[in-house]
Structure 1
Amino acid sequence: MYMIAILGNFTILFIVKREPSLHEPMYYFLCMLAINDLVLSTSILPKMLSIFWFNSREINFSACLTQLYFILSFSTMQSGILVAMAFDRYVAICDPLRHSTILTNPMVANIGLAVVLRGAILVLPIPFLARRWPYCRTNIIPHTYCEHIVVVKLACADISLSSYYSLSVAFLVIGLDVFFIAVSYTGILRAILSLPTKDARLKTFGTCGSHLCVILASYIPALFSFLTHRFGHNVALHLHILVANVYLLLPPMLNPIIYGVRTQQIRDRLLQLFTRKGT
């Protein structure tokens, strides 16, 4: 899965950089998603593989908090990028004549900067709060990476502040992002249904298919993992661990495959690349 994620996301970056015709907002946001997926998967996979291959089952507490920060901040950034992609599709379908004037290169760069700053700043207090608690219980967690709520539950102190802050950030980020995505797609669906022919409706909706698949692959496992950790006390531990791994490993692997298969421009450039090599 890690090899597919690395190869797939680097291929997306290479194709978009190589082809001037793909230098558009949609593909810039796709490159942001690819970079985010590379960092997110690399923050957990090397250590995870060392556990299985070399039985390296220890991690320094500072390194654990650093890993925790990267996981949460880049997960937050991923959600923001999905909102930006939904906004791009909304403008492209509902107001196509103004698409190039609204989503200029400086605007895309500003959106990217806002996404990065939001993720970096909102998550920053979480590792600092985790560090301040006294840890006098076991130092063993049943996960392959430093999952926040599992780590702070090892503290022999009242961790309500950590728990409430992380819960607030999660609901604020996911709640607002899902709301904005829903608003965008409500407008998109209205615009599509107003088109005169079935072929036109299907063709236009097809341009959103990749994004919808990525949204489902990203949000459903993440929400399930998040909610079961806090409220699913009767859920078996091995299921907790499985879902916690899946929601971080699956999207970085699936995203380039989904966009590679469903986006004709990327698929055509990839075929041209292999055809040239073959000749």
Structure 2
Amino acid sequence: MLKIFKIILATFVIISVGGPFASAASYANQADIDIIAASNKAYVDFIKAINDEKSVANGAALAQAAAASSTFNNVASHNFSSKLGVKYIKKSAEVKKYAGEIKVLLDKIAVVLRERDYNAANQYLEQTHNSVKKYSAAVEEVNKAASESNLYAGCLFLLTTIAAAAMVIGSFIWFAIGRSKRLNHSLLEARKAVALSALTPLAGAVILYTTFILTGSTNSADGIYIVANVLILIGLASYVSSIIKYIKLNDNTPTALPAHSTTKNRR
């Protein structure tokens, strides 16, 4: 029985830490994705305009340069998610660095376009292409860091689910052992209450893992993650409470039913 209690305690700790931590690790970085996507589109629109003589002549390319500069400035000043790990934070800092470089170069292109200094514009454009390559590589590293973070979160969700299942199995085995030892009715009911209370954290863990598999770390799933974590926390609180009640009852109750006497009175 002591071994079973150790297993239950270990799984209890894993579930207590794993569920909420995994939810934090799977934080959706949709705002980061959107602002990078906007910068990519702005740069594509600028390149189309700068490569079109008519757009250069009528000022459309100048307008696109200004728009792209503003977009990359947004990236450079953006607060990237701090909930996807140290590597994500480090790589996003590089993205911001190169976005700032591109912003400065686009501003210079805008200046020489106004002055119709196309030789200078071509030189700045070449520098911009080089900075964009570095920017794209940095964005790729950010995407990899986000994927690694989400993979880690998925492993934590799975581990939490396995731990919750182990806690349920261990609790019901413990209850079955009590029945085999012919514990009195009150102790058996207390063990049964412990086993049944373990089902709630398991339900929360299953919801967490299933939601992650089906939807990933998207904002639309935040409500489900919250509900699942509430189930886990409430279930664990109920589980602890049931164990405490059992311990108190066990200290004041005979552990087994008295054996029936098979001797007969002799005359």
Q: TM-score, normalised by structure 1?
A: 0.34
